[in-house]
Amino acid sequence: MRQTLSDIRNILPELEIFSVNSGKQVYDWKIPKEWKVNKAYIVCPNGEKICDFSKNNLHLVGYSTPFSGKLILSELQKRLFSLPEKPNAIPYVTSYYKETWGFCIEDNKRKMLEDGIYEVVIDSELFDGVLNYGELLIEGRSKEEIFLSTYICHPSMANNELSGPVVTTFIAEWLSQQTNRFSYRIVFIPETIGSICYLSHNLAHLKKFVTAGFNISCIGDNREYSFLPSRNGKTLSDKVAKHVLSHFDQDYKKYSWSDRGSDERQYCSPGVDLPIASIMRTKYGKYPEYHTSLDDLKNVVTEEGLDGGYWALRRAIECIEINETYKANNLCEPQMGRRGLRSNISMKGLQNSFAVYMDLLSWCDGKHSLIDIAEKMDMPCWDLKEVVDTLVNEDLISLVN
């Protein structure tokens, strides 16, 4: 966690890192102890070392307590976890809130274990420490905020971990180079306990200022696009996400609130009710490598996948930035020809390249936002930005406060 936050701060130097002590009450939860592993492995009867934590940290059940001893195979099997349906995968298993220990192993290797005495070594520590999370505020012209949250707690997995903070980091870098209408509050947290902890410290502020936001996870593979709504389902975040994804991939997967499974559970819970939706590539739990060592940078996360995830989220932010409401300044249609916005020659078959101006003007009644208009015109909202700027410069439309 701390190394990850340090690496992110090398790119985003304004990132602030916070610490919350173990044992602190945060709503119905307590911040757990820190976990440190010095070494962990199993030695087979023939002397071979397997499930070596130093080679793959998924081999050890997360938060395993210390243990040193010898077990026969039948006893050891009770402490092993594998996936018969994925015989070459090391599963990701944790036990944060009940003290126990165990190892994770590929099922094909588990089946090859022979009877005999196995030496088990887990040199780990559970101690009072701190939970860390990172927060970055990029101030805009308005105090209203867009909230972006991603998590940094699943080790050694590419899509269900690394993709979220990677895309979020570079979205933050892009935002820091812009003059933004909204302010952006961006957090890098451990999933569940981190969002609960963060809300317990910041809920009043978030409820007052957050206008829209996204939980960012599983955004790096190149298989499909996915949308998970807020609990409300009708927030600006929901509208924008569906608008963007419909122009990225008309066959994107639409999920319901009952399919939730990440930090949206906390951000949209009753009484919190933040307008947080999720734009993803393949949703967590819906791709075969999920929560295993097979979720890698070779077969799952790709450059194309990350790029697609980045642009889907960026377009959503761009839409929110430009989603204002305009009113036409003229009764009836304005004379576009003298402004150079329409050909003065009327002839059957003559292509009018400026028809989009007239379509947009027809909806500028002070009641439709730009996203509403883009939906009616079946055009990407971001493609209308230049048209809007032209109409404003020609004094044909005005911003409605």
- Looking at residue 346, its pLDDT comes to 43
Topology match between the domains 35-127 and 325-399: no
Architecture of domain 35-127: 3-Layer(bba) Sandwich (3.50)
Tokens of 169: 């980091």
- Looking at residue 241, its pLDDT comes to 98
Phi, psi of 154 (to 5 degrees): -95, 115
Other beta carbons within 10 angstroms of residue 275's beta carbon come to 22
- B/e letters for 347-368, b = 16+ CB within 10 Å, e = fewer, are eeeeeeebeebeebbebbeeeb
Note whether 231 and 255 are within 8 A (CB). Answer: no
* Neighbouring residues of 97: CB distance < 8 A, sequence distance ≥ 6: 32
- B/e letters for 247-262, b = 16+ CB within 10 Å, e = fewer, are beeeebbebeeebbeb
Note whether 148 and 216 are within 8 A (CB). Answer: yes
d(CA 33, CA 177): 38
pTM assigned to the model:
0.94
Please state the domain extents for the chain: 2-29+130-322, 35-127, 325-399
Instruction: Give 39-78 pLDDT, tens digit per residue.
Output: 999 999 999 999 999 999 999 999 999 999 999 999 999 9
* Neighbouring residues of 343: CB distance < 8 A, sequence distance ≥ 6: 337, 350, 352, 354
d(CA 228, CA 247): 17
Q: Tell me the CATH number for domain 2-29+130-322.
A: 3.40.630.10
Architecture of domain 325-399: Orthogonal Bundle (1.10)
- Looking at residue 337, its pLDDT comes to 79
- The region that residue 177 occupies, defined by phi over 0 for left and psi between -120 and 50 for alpha, beta otherwise, is alpha
Per-residue pLDDT of the chain (401 residues; tens, 9 = 90+): 999 999 999 999 999 999 999 999 999 999 999 999 999 999 999 999 999 999 999 999 999 999 999 999 999 999 999 999 999 999 999 999 999 999 999 999 999 999 999 999 999 999 999 999 999 999 999 999 999 999 999 999 999 999 999 999 999 999 999 999 999 999 999 999 999 999 999 999 999 999 999 999 999 999 999 999 999 999 999 999 999 999 999 999 999 999 999 999 999 999 999 999 999 999 999 999 999 999 999 999 999 999 999 999 999 999 999 999 999 999 998 888 788 776 544 434 434 457 888 999 999 999 999 999 999 999 999 999 999 999 999 999 999 97
- Looking at residue 282, its pLDDT comes to 98
- Looking at residue 112, its pLDDT comes to 96
